[in-house]
Structure 1
Amino acid sequence: MILEDRSALHHRTISVVMASQVFSGAGLAAGVTVGALLAEDMLGTSSLSGLPSALFTAGSAGAALGVGRLSQRLGRRAGLTAGYAAGALGGAGVVVAAAIDNVVLLLFFLLVYGAGTATNLQARYAGADLVEPGRRGRAVSSVLVATTIGAVIGPNLVSVTGRIAARWHIPPVAGPFALAAVAYAVAGTILFLLLRPDPLLVSRTLNASTPAAAGESAGPPARAGVTAGAATMILTQLVMVAVMTMTPVQMKAHGHDLAATGLVIAVHIAAMYLPSPLTGLLVDRVGRIPVAVASGITLLAAGVVSATAPDDSVPLLTVALALLGLGWNLGLVAGTAMITDAAPPETRAKTQGAVDLCVALAGAGGGITSGLIMAATSYSALSIGGGVLALAVIPFVIANARRPLADPHLGAN
């Protein structure tokens, strides 16, 4: 096999993955926007409205491990394509379950739908397979920012897809899951057809053929880098999912319609992805650890704003959810760079999948407990509690930053 120039192949990989992320972003955002509302309608209680988020985040956990292991064996193309196919199946299944009002089927397919979420996040690693450590933050951010387009469009199609679903005698809040099924299917098709040659497999070949690279990759991933990166992403994911999940429920309880909810969630998801180019630049130039610290501070600010916002203030809730998304973005890009720096190509996908499994489980915990916490206390208490918890990122990553790391580029970071 004749390998393409590494730089040219990297740019081709980024272009293909970005194209798929536009569609997968719409699939991800559509289900997130109405999942809690669908559960509340079908289960008849708001105390379990965090269950959909918990289920498709739990499904995401299993899929993260599966996609990571499949990518380790067969490459990114196989792993990502399979993950999006499962996400599409889950979205379609949710629509069917809602149409026949079958709660058991709904819960099962919400679990399967989570594979799309896991795959959407796993795709970011493909962008960093072929670049040097000093540019990994920007490579990851390029993939993440492509998600913004679909992620903003998805929630704003809630009303449209709801009306279409109603015409077919399907609950309107199930309509966005039909959009998700189509979007994930298109994303998977793009990767299956165009992600050739596979960036992870090429990275292994280049790593094995370059003496310096081979020396760098010897041995297990640096424990400090993996630990710091995992802790950053786990905490930011838990806080973000918990507060985001309950925001549509809080808005509905105070008379806001689906259009207002869709707007707030659209801004939130835009903030999760749109700042990525700047975040990636900061991660590469300022360092992984300072950006991780900034994520904890930003999430605290989000909690304070959402907790103190008047119930009828859509603008302030929008600001709070934007800060929530930004804090998540800072943590994700910094954590991803730490993990990729620490893991050599020979074990990279497996390590990344295992870390994303933990991240997804944290999100599942945030989703399932958020409804219970809000029912027992209030949305304000949930928001403040999440912000305070996010500050745990700071001492954790600073402590791990003092340990020796595998990659020389991390020394100053």
Structure 2
Amino acid sequence: MPEDADLLTPDGVARVQRRTVAVLAAGQVLGGVAFGATVSLGALLAADLSGQEALSGLATASVTLGAALCAIPLARLAASRGRRRALTLGNLFALIGIALVITAAAVRWFPLLLVGVILIGAGNAGNLQSRFAATDLSAPTRRGRDLGTVVWATTIGGVLGPLMLTPGEVVGGWLGMPPLTGSYAFSIVAQVLALGLYLVGLRPDPLRIAQALARSAGSGPAPVAEQDSPRVARYAVFAVAGSHVVMASVMAMTPVHLSHLDPRNVTTIVGVTIALHVFGMYGLSPVFGVLADRWGRLRTILLGQAILAASLVTAAVAPQSATAVLIALVLLGLGWSAATVGGAALLTEATPTALRPRRQGRSDTAMTLSAAIGSVLAGGVLQLIGYGGLAMVALVVVVAITVLSPYARR
């Protein structure tokens, strides 16, 4: 509980919230570097070390599995000890994971690669928690905007990660790193800086202040709405998880699919495509945040489903065109962004402060675990019916989210 009573005043809360959003945004920039590199390299490393393209989806599955395994424990840690402890522990997991991935590539041991990627995914669970941390002290009219701002910050690191593949190979060669792991040198530096930033910058802890405000219950206007709408919360979890499994499954197979379209320029075409996809995921999140605040959380979720549908149809119609695949991946990122920002805001406002860390952890677990399963299955679907067929299978989930949307109406 905060020791300084001034922090519980409206001015104190606003001051801490501004600082929290700034720190979280900077941390997302740094954390996004490792995420972007893993998204781009994971499938290629898995295919290379295993010798089987059907197993390439295990890399993305391992990232999401790691996030799923750690989402609830990190949420519980945040509930009991604050966001700062949870986020810094996530950074430590990611650092260890990066070291294991590099070692696995050096000794060419596929199981060790998956362990390392799982730990990077555990670190990503901390990054996912940042978007909820941005709403701990946020006023209801700014909740979507603050959440979107923090999500947007991932754009910089997430786009830089894939674009660092080629220069990373140069740096990696100079450092004696294994092939396809050079860009992780940049990721290590970024994760160390993020770790230090959270340790120093998240003081006071926003969740601890929000919990103190909820306990005081009448000492001043609370910055969050204390209502419980379980049915709305369940739909929000389903919408976020479903949108994520659509995005992760198609995105996981894109590097492998593109490697067949242009084998001579794999790192370049994959790097550019994934970089633009990551930009789509995060670049317009503040816009979707404003839409969620002004237009409505549910409408923003449904807008995301419309964009996801456009992406999947594009991929299904012209799977052999690298340009069409690039357009589909950008739309895939944009649809995911709208659904995730709208869904996270809907879940937060449908849940009282005391229950938020628990439900947020369950949401992240559902999101990442379903995506892990989807990524594994995507490899087999790709081999059976191709990239276009995979897009059509994913479209079924989009239809389900849309059809069930009446459950989110109060």
Give 1:397-408 correspondences, 5 Å limit: 397-398=405-406, 400-402=407-409, 404=410
Are 1:293 and 2:302 counterparts?
Answer: yes
Match for 2:189 among 158, 165, 182? 182
Give 1:296-375 correspondences, 5 Å limit: 296-309=305-318, 311=320, 313-375=321-383
Are 1:78 and 2:85 counterparts?
Answer: yes
What's 1:273 paired with?
282
Give the CA deviation at 1:236: 0.4
What's 1:119 paired with?
126
Counting aligned pairs with the same residue, the percent is 35
Alignment deviations for residues 373-399 of structure 1 (CA, whole Å, 9 cap, x no partner): 10111011001221232121112122x
What's 1:138 paired with?
145
Give the CA deviation at 1:232: 0.8
Give 1:41-60 correspondences, 5 Å limit: 41-60=48-67
Give the CA deviation at 1:215: 11
Alignment deviations for residues 286-310 of structure 1 (CA, whole Å, 9 cap, x no partner): 1011111111111111011112225
Give the CA deviation at 1:345: 1.8
- Of 249-258 and 265-274, deviating more is 249-258
CA distance in structure 2 between the partners assigned to 1:310 and 1:362 by the alignment? 25
Residue type at the aligned position of 1:205: A
CA distance in structure 1 between the partners assigned to 2:213 and 2:193 by the alignment? 31
Are 1:262 and 2:271 counterparts?
Answer: yes
- Of 386-395 and 267-276, deviating more is 386-395
Give the CA deviation at 1:203: 0.8
The answer to whether the 8 A contact 2:64-2:368 is kept is: yes
Are 1:380 and 2:388 counterparts?
Answer: yes
Unmatched 5+ residue regions in structure 2?
Answer: none
What's 1:408 paired with?
none
Residue type at the aligned position of 1:254: L
What's 1:250 paired with?
257
SS at match of 1:376: helix
Give the CA deviation at 1:209: 2.0
The answer to whether the 8 A contact 1:70-1:78 is kept is: yes
Give 1:144-159 correspondences, 5 Å limit: 144-159=151-166
SS at match of 2:353: coil
Are 1:33 and 2:37 counterparts?
Answer: no
SS at match of 2:329: helix
Give the CA deviation at 1:213: 4.7
Alignment deviations for residues 284-339 of structure 1 (CA, whole Å, 9 cap, x no partner): 1110111111111111110111122252x333222110100001001100110011
CA distance in structure 2 between the partners assigned to 1:13 and 1:231 by the alignment? 28
The answer to whether the 8 A contact 1:165-1:174 is kept is: yes
CA RMSD, Structure 1 to Structure 2 (Å): 1.7
Alignment deviations for residues 116-153 of structure 1 (CA, whole Å, 9 cap, x no partner): 22111110111111112222111100101111111111
The answer to whether the 8 A contact 1:31-1:176 is kept is: no
- Of 300-309 and 265-274, deviating more is 300-309
Query: TM-score, structure 2 length as denominator?
Result: 0.93
Alignment deviations for residues 4-45 of structure 1 (CA, whole Å, 9 cap, x no partner): 311111101111111111101111111101100000000001
Unmatched 5+ residue regions in structure 1?
Answer: 405-413
Alignment deviations for residues 242-275 of structure 1 (CA, whole Å, 9 cap, x no partner): 0001111011012242111100000000010011
What's 1:411 paired with?
none
What's 2:204 paired with?
197
Residue type at the aligned position of 2:324: L
Give the CA deviation at 1:184: 2.4
The answer to whether the 8 A contact 2:241-2:367 is kept is: yes
Residue type at the aligned position of 2:162: P
Give the CA deviation at 1:214: 11
The answer to whether the 8 A contact 2:44-2:56 is kept is: yes
What's 2:178 paired with?
171
Give the CA deviation at 1:346: 1.8
